[in-house]
Amino acid sequence: MEQFIQQLVNGISLGSIYALIALGYTMVYGIVKLINFAHGDVFMVGAFIGFYSITFLHLGFFPALLISMAACALFGVLIERIAYKPLRNATRIAALITAIGVSLFIEYGTIYIRGAQPEAYPNNVVPLKSIELFGVKISGQSILILAVSIFLMIVLQFVVHKTKIGKAMRAVSHDQDAAKLMGINVNNTISATFAIGSALAGAAGVIFGMYYTKIEPLMGIIPGLKAFVAAVLGGIGIIPGAMVGGLLLGVIEALVSALGGSLWRDAVAFIVLILILIFRPAGLFGKNVREKV
Amino acid sequence: MAKTLKNAKGFWGTIVIVIVLSVVIQFLINGGTLNSFYVNTLFSIGINIILAVSLHLIIGITGQFSIGHAGFLAVGAYVSAIFTMKLAMPFPVAIVAAGLAAAVAGLIIGIPTLRLRGDYLAIATLGFGEIVRIAFLNIDYVGGASGMTVSHLITWPILVACVIITIVVIVNFTNSTHGRACLAIRENEIAADAMGINTTFYKVMAFAIGAFFAGVAGALHAHNFYIIQPVNFGFLKSFDILILVVLGGLGSMSGSVIAAILLTIISTFLSSYPEVRMVIYSLVLIVMMLFRPQGLMGTKEITAFFKAGRTAKGGMQDDKHTVA
Amino acid sequence: MTNTPLLKVDHAGIRFGGLKAVSDVNMELKEGELVGLIGPNGAGKTTFFNLLTGVYVPTEGSIQLDGKKLNGFAPYKITKMGISRTFQNIRLFSDLSVLDNVKIAYHSLAKHSILSSILRLPPHFSGEKEMEEKAIEFLKIFKLEGVMDEQAKNLPYGQQRRLEIARALAANPRLLLLDEPAAGMNPQETEELMNLIALIREKFKLTILLIEHDMNLVMGVCERIYVLDHGQLIADGTPEQIRNNPKVIEAYLGEEVS
């Protein structure tokens, strides 16, 4: 039982990282209908920026988190403006191929610049004590991850529902042409979406580094794909769906590990994906829509 | 009718030239004129042509964006290796078994997922590729992470035969009512359905044929490289195949073949700088999509360039058809 | 001519969620009739076509073609059973040649198997030859044989509309559904189209159901007309009866009647 709760806590920590990344996927997909394959790599870049901020600039956890988020926001906007914007009216396949290209470029560009060797995150940045809950030791880092994730998600909900840019985002994702006619600057709104999504991925990168301590240039691929699975699981384009999907996926993975299938852990996400695509392609929170004939 | 015949002649002419060329190369190999570096490059080119053409059928002709092709390659590689190394079967039998196993894998993944469109299909196939890789990683019978050692059984005649059979089958399929059914799905699935085409059947069929030849390529791959490991069949391998099809031009088989030859040569020269190779590949993908999304050849075949006079197309562009 | 109607629609309808898009439609088409289906925008005309062709499955009622129930069959099967259609927003195979567009529609009548095509066995050649000849025959009727090697997307708009009808005809239907075939055409093109429709109906012994906004066209060629409004049939009868039906006039009130 203790073991089970321990795994559940691990699953929730991992799941909240997935959720943070999944939010970016889901927001971007909601607004430009593009699977931004490079999103997982923004997460990786965020982890590295956090790492360098802590080790070279000797910053604390929170300043490093903020720097990483800001830099990733900028990076996300750059990717969108350079690679995706010219393709907004191109075919879906062309956009998807470009996204794959951008993803590979960031991964191997990073390796080219700094090499493929991993870095170890300093684990003493946040002196948090573990606490005991129902006889289960929960590490300070788990609590921190959860707290930061929940805080960011609340902020995101606020931004999306209460601010002008959030309203514009929802309008553009609902009907781009109509939004344009209503005087919304579609280009800026799309950029803002990329900025917010990328900032969240950056935050996830720093948190991931704290929690798992090892970071490397290809670290974004698998969490990125799994976060996409989480977004699909919750219903792509739906913000609460991404949060729930992320947490659910993290917990499922942790439980599979606990049941002795740790080597199969990476396959679980994809099996979940294929099952959800077959049985409920719109996701847990989504509505089915058919192409208009 | 005359046009079809002429095309067919050009195609079979090319095949004859290829066979003659292969015989010459065989003599050069036997005579020792070509050193092992060139021979290896030629083998890689052949395998990549099969992979590119098989994926071309799925993406270029049928329009189904599949990015898990390495999964079929892996199935073919492992099944063939089991046949030759564990069951002591002859190599040709292993090749056929590899193809069939991959085709079955194609059916298993294709039947449920091909109902999905575009992006979802892409992700589902990517997921499938990963599941296959992780499965092999966890099966001790095939060596887990350390993989299997495989004898070098590939020979030039076997390779050439496989390449030619792949191309002939896919060209013959494409240039028939069945291939046109696939093209119709690529162009407009709803209209294809309304015109009496069983879209699911043809999507699954294209997927299974493509998977079959990817499996064949897997058998050749396994018996060329001495060792197979799950790490060789990750999604990077899928992207390697994808770029061949994209670069050649989605919908052009000769484009895929040319891209397979060019990129294999380029990556052979860049093999000591793998990250440079990937940076270049990724830039090529991005720049290509930005400036020439139709690829090197567009949907045209190389035979089209030899036909003069037929190219005078009227520039009758009419954008009125946006009326809903 | 037999007494069983070719198409019998019995209290058919569909709801999306709580919304009734089409409900309680009854319709009978006799073999060889040319019938119009009109109604204001958003009345459910195209949705009704989608019910007939299997794109949507009716949630109520039944649809029968020559006594055979169609509910639940996939669109391609319904096409094979004898209903083919054109689309309101043209859906050609735009990157393919005009000839290939028509050949594709002839696909379901092809007899040669995948294996015989791959191995280039005799059935492949005879089958392909027959398809090509048939396709050219259809193109000739529609005066499109001169552009058969063009990509469909390069045709002028009027020819694209004609090609769509040619393609629908090549699928060998007994019942042809035309969804606003004259949309976007000028009066002269419309006139030509009407003659063409009369001609193919004669030549292929077709039954035609036609959605059209152009009242002149509908009143001019159709023998009977059904009127759909808010997803329900509000009237049916001869053009003369429809013209004078107060319900129809009311439904169109405020709508532009061109």
Hey, which bits of chain B come out as E strands?
148-149, 227-228
Domain with residue B112: its CATH number is: 1.10.3470.10
DSSP C34: E
Whether residue B19 lies inside any domain: the answer is: no
Which among A86, A97, A273 has CB closest to B127?
A273
Q: Is the CB of residue B113 less than 8 Å from the CB of residue A277?
A: yes
Distance from CA of C195 to the nearest CA of B (A): 23
- The reply to whether residue C100 touches residue B197, judged by beta carbons under 8 angstroms, is no
pTM: 0.88
> Tokens 């792949």 correspond to what residue?
B166
Q: How buried is residue B231: exposed, middle or buried, by Cβ count under 10 Å (0-12/13-18/19+)?
A: middle
- Low-confidence winner among A30-44, A99-113, B182-196, B287-301 (lowest mean pLDDT): B287-301
- For residue B131, what are the domain limits? 33-234
Query: Is 50 exceeded by the pLDDT of residue B308?
Result: no
- Decide: helix, strand or coil at residue B149: strand
Q: What is the pLDDT of residue A289?
A: 55
| CA-based nearest residue in chain B for residue A217 | B275
Task: Please state the domain count of chain B.
Answer: 1
Measure the CA–CA gap between B315 and A69, rounded to whole angstroms.
50
A120 touches chain B (CB under 8 A): no
Confidence tier at A273 by pLDDT (50, 70, 90): confident
C87 touches chain B (CB under 8 A): yes
Measure the CA–CA gap between B16 and B9, rounded to whole angstroms.
10
Query: Is 90 exceeded by the pLDDT of residue B111?
Result: no
Query: Kind and range of the H or E element at B163?
Result: helix B156-174
| CA-based nearest residue in chain C for residue A289 | C16
State the amino acid at position A214 in one-letter form.
K
B161 touches chain A (CB under 8 A): no
A2 touches chain B (CB under 8 A): no
Summarize pLDDT for B70-84 with one digit per residue, the tens. 999 999 999 999 999
Measure the CA–CA gap between B36 and B268, rounded to whole angstroms.
13
Summarize pLDDT for B274-298 with one digit per residue, the tens. 888 889 989 988 888 888 877 777 7
Average pLDDT over chain B, rounded to an integer: 86
Query: Is 60 exceeded by the pLDDT of residue B1?
Result: no
Considering only CA atoms, give the Rg of chain A: 19
B196 touches chain C (CB under 8 A): yes
- The reply to whether residue B196 touches residue C76, judged by beta carbons under 8 angstroms, is yes
Which ipTM was obtained for this model? 0.90
Q: What is the pLDDT of residue B92?
A: 95
DSSP B270: T
Measure the CA–CA gap between A21 and A96, rounded to whole angstroms.
18
Q: What is the pLDDT of residue B306?
A: 58
Give the number of B-C residue pairs with CB atoms closer than 8 Å. Answer: 132
A108 touches chain B (CB under 8 A): yes
Measure the CA–CA gap between B112 and A288, rounded to whole angstroms.
17
Summarize pLDDT for A215-272 with one digit per residue, the tens. 999 999 889 989 999 998 998 888 889 999 999 999 999 888 888 777 788 888 888 8
| CA-based nearest residue in chain A for residue C46 | A293
% of chain B residues with pLDDT over 70: 90
Distance from CA of B87 to the nearest CA of A (A): 28
Measure the CA–CA gap between A155 and C169, rounded to whole angstroms.
59
Measure the CA–CA gap between B170 and B164, rounded to whole angstroms.
10
Domain chopping of chain A, boundaries: 2-120+136-220
Measure the CA–CA gap between B243 and B260, rounded to whole angstroms.
9
Q: What is the pLDDT of residue C3?
A: 66
State the amino acid at position C106 in one-letter form.
Y
Distance from CA of A233 to the nearest CA of B (A): 12
Measure the CA–CA gap between C47 and C55, rounded to whole angstroms.
9
Q: Is the CB of residue B118 less than 8 Å from the CB of residue B128?
A: no
pLDDT mean over B191-196: 94
3-state helix, strand, coil split of chain B in percent (to 5) is 75, 0, 25
Q: Give the pair of three-digit tokens for residue A264.
A: 């199969």
C46 touches chain A (CB under 8 A): yes
CB under 8 Å to A193, separation ≥6 — which residues?
A27, A28, A31, A32, A169, A172
Nearest to C229 by CA among C253, C198, C193, C201: C253
Q: Give the pair of three-digit tokens for residue B111.
A: 């039947």
Measure the CA–CA gap between A247 and A254, rounded to whole angstroms.
11
Which among B63, B131, B279 has CB closest to A108?
B279
Q: Give the pair of three-digit tokens for residue B234.
A: 């990750």
Q: What is the 3-state secondary structure (H, E, C) of C45-90?
A: HHHHHHHHCCCCCCCEEEEEECCEECCCCCHHHHHHHCEEECCCCC
Half-sphere exposure in the Cβ direction for C192 (13 Å, CA): 12
- Chain B contact partners (≥3 CB pairs within 8 A): A, C
Half-sphere exposure in the Cβ direction for C195 (13 Å, CA): 9
CA distances from B9 to A149, B2, B301, B303 (A): 65, 11, 14, 10
Q: How buried is residue B147: exposed, middle or buried, by Cβ count under 10 Å (0-12/13-18/19+)?
A: buried
Measure the CA–CA gap between B297 and B250, rounded to whole angstroms.
8
What sign results for the dihedral spanned by CA atoms C231, C235, C238, C242?
Answer: negative
- Chain C contact partners (≥3 CB pairs within 8 A): A, B
- The reply to whether residue A264 touches residue B138, judged by beta carbons under 8 angstroms, is yes
Measure the CA–CA gap between A208 and A219, rounded to whole angstroms.
10
Q: Give the pair of three-digit tokens for residue A46.
A: 């965020």
Q: What is the pLDDT of residue C254?
A: 54
What sign results for the dihedral spanned by CA atoms B115, B119, B120, B122?
Answer: positive
Confidence tier at A182 by pLDDT (50, 70, 90): confident
Considering only CA atoms, give the Rg of chain C: 19
> Tokens 């509908």 correspond to what residue?
C218
Distance from CA of B69 to the nearest CA of A (A): 15
CB under 8 Å to A58, separation ≥6 — which residues?
none
Which positions 19-58 of C are in contact with B (Cβ < 8 Å)?
Answer: 53, 55
Half-sphere exposure in the Cβ direction for A66 (13 Å, CA): 4
Q: Is the CB of residue C215 less than 8 Å from the CB of residue C122?
A: no
Mean pLDDT per 10-residue run, chain C (258 residues)? 79 84 91 90 89 91 90 92 92 94 92 91 93 93 91 91 92 93 85 88 91 80 90 90 86 58
Domain chopping of chain C, boundaries: 1-82+173-258, 95-171
What sign results for the dihedral spanned by CA atoms A100, A105, A106, A108?
Answer: positive
Q: What is the pLDDT of residue B222?
A: 96
- The reply to whether residue C93 touches residue B198, judged by beta carbons under 8 angstroms, is no
CA distances from A259 to A256, A262, A265, B132, C258 (A): 5, 8, 10, 21, 71
CATH class of C1-82+173-258: alpha beta
pLDDT mean over B17-30: 85
What is the rounded end-to-end Cα distance, in angstroms, of chain B?
A: 36
Measure the CA–CA gap between B175 and B253, rounded to whole angstroms.
12
Query: Kind and range of the H or E element at B73?
Result: helix B69-81
Q: What is the pLDDT of residue C42?
A: 83
| CA-based nearest residue in chain A for residue C91 | A293
